[in-house]
Amino acid sequence: MKKTLSLIALSTLLGGCYSSPESLNSMARFHSPEVNKAPFKLSMSLGTDTSNVVALNANHEVTEDSHLRAAAELSLGHGFEFGWAAGGEGKYSLKYQFYGKGREEASSGDISLAMSIGYVSGDDSGVEAGNFVGFQEYNKSHWEFDKNAIDVALISGYRLTPDLLVYGSVFYQDGEIDGRYYIKDPSLCTTGCKTDPINSDGKNYGVSVALEYAFTRNVFGTLEATLHQADWFDRTKSESSANLNVGYRF
């Protein structure tokens, strides 16, 4: 009896280190439609980034992740802005404001429209549990994959007051996951060892709405809500989220 309990405890302890492949999809957007008219105006921000997680194994229970998100935007002139963000995933983007006043000229009642295109990337790795024979574990598979996607969005905004901007976006991402299972130690492989590829074409899409408030000329904060749908591993998963960031414009 004691031996059985020890084996159960050991399996539980070891199992805590195991994971299955998951597509982690960032839900934070924070894309204001207003761009500085003058070039080389920099803004930086820190905030939260919740994720819509889809597991390869349909029976695998997932926990929705939340990450710290760092971002920076640099105006390029003529309505263009380059953006970078790192949170649940990494992202580079180019935004173009094609309607409305620039950020430094905006006033109450102004409407602004912009579009953006971006490149989203991420990677993950882990170990799936094997089979125990006594205290020896066999057929333990490691896994790894890269994820890449193109992100496009249409963004619109309305300035309620000189300090308060409400804006929203419709977004779409199309991408792929490319990876594999592999056996790190062939001596622990008997029969049925998993060495399959991990491949999936997928997409994310949804809408977001945000309130951005300028506390001072330089300091601002944003509260954002997102409805997000993720299609990966031949399954669809919908989630909603609320995220917050605080930034500084130089």
Mean pLDDT of 201-220: 97
CA–CA separation, 224 and 210 (whole Å): 4
pLDDT surpasses 50 at 136 = yes
Query: Confidence class of residue 1 from pLDDT cuts 50, 70 and 90?
Result: very low
* Backbone φ, ψ for residue 71 (5° rounding): -145, 155
Nearest to 64 by CA among 12, 30, 25: 25
- Answer whether residue 137 shows pLDDT above 90: no
Q: Give 190 or 170, the one with higher predicted confidence.
A: 170
Check residues 4 and 206 and name the one with the higher pLDDT. Answer: 206
Q: Where are the domains of the chain?
A: 2-249
CATH number of 2-249, picked from 1.10.3470, 2.40.128, 3.40.250, 3.40.50: 2.40.128
pTM of the full predicted structure? 0.84
Give the model's confidence band at 138: pLDDT under 50 very low, under 70 low, under 90 confident, else very high.
low
> Quick one: which H or E segment has residue 15?
helix 2-15
How many helices, marked H, and strands, marked E, lie in the chain?
1, 13
Q: Which helix (H) or strand (E) holds 6?
A: helix 2-15
Greater model confidence, 158 or 106: 158
pLDDT in tens, 154-187: 999 999 999 999 999 999 999 999 999 888 777 7
pLDDT above 90 covers a percentage of the chain that reads 68
CB-CB neighbours of 204 under 10 Å: 23
Query: DSSP 3-state assignment of 107?
Result: coil
If you count them, how many residues does the chain have?
250
Q: What is the pLDDT of residue 8?
A: 39
Whole-number Å distance between alpha carbons of 6 and 15:
14
For residue 110, CA distances in Å to 34, 113, 170, 196 come to: 10, 10, 20, 54
Query: What gap in Å lies between CA 150 and CA 64, rounded to an integer?
Result: 23
Report the alpha-carbon distance of residue 21 to residue 159 in Å, rounded: 43
Question: Is the pLDDT score of 218 beyond 60?
Answer: yes
Using alpha carbons, select from 249, 232, 241 the residue that is nearest to residue 54.
Answer: 232
pLDDT in tens, 56-104: 887 776 666 789 999 999 999 999 999 999 998 999 999 999 999 999 9
4 pLDDT band, cuts 50/70/90, is: very low
Angstrom distance (rounded) from CA 54 to CA 237: 7
